[in-house]
């Protein structure tokens, strides 16, 4: 008998404590660390070498909404979102 693998069997589990749902996204630890702490979500013990963590759909929506609020606050204070790169014109000022 051949059994078909389901989509959840291929995907790793969510790395949030107490959640065993299949993951949908893989996010950077360093970029989303503030969002995780403000949402009171704790990751399972991962190696220090691991730079990314897997997350399910429900937890992703929570973190995404918190990240948007943080970016809006930072935009009001500094005028630019945290994850936008510098304009290319700033790099070319000294060429001419």
Which residue, among 33, 12, 35, has the nearest Cα to 22 in the 3D structure? 12
How do residues 38-52 score in pLDDT, each as one tens digit? 999 999 877 778 889
17/19 Cα distance (integer angstroms): 6
Which residue, among 75, 71, 42, has the nearest Cα to 59 in the 3D structure? 42
pLDDT at 34 over 70: yes
**Cβ atoms of 1 and 29 closer than 8 Å:** no
Please state the rounded mean pLDDT for residues 4-14.
Answer: 65
Looking at residue 64, its pLDDT comes to 92
State pTM to two decimals: 0.66
Looking at residue 53, its pLDDT comes to 92
* CB half-sphere exposure, 5, CA atoms < 13 A: 5
Please state the rounded mean pLDDT for residues 22-46.
Answer: 89
Average confidence score pLDDT of the chain: 78
């Amino acid at each position: 008998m051949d059994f078909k693998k389901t989509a959840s069997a291929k995907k790793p589990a969510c790395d949030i404590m107490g959640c065993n749902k299949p993951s949908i996204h893989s996010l950077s630890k360093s970029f989303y660390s503030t969002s995780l702490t403000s949402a009171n979500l704790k990751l399972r013990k991962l190696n220090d070498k691991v730079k990314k963590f897997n997350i399910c759909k429900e937890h992703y929506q929570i973190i995404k909404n918190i990240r948007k609020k943080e970016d809006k606050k930072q935009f009001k204070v500094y005028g630019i979102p945290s994850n936008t790169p510098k304009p290319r014109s700033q790099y070319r000022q000294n060429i001419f």
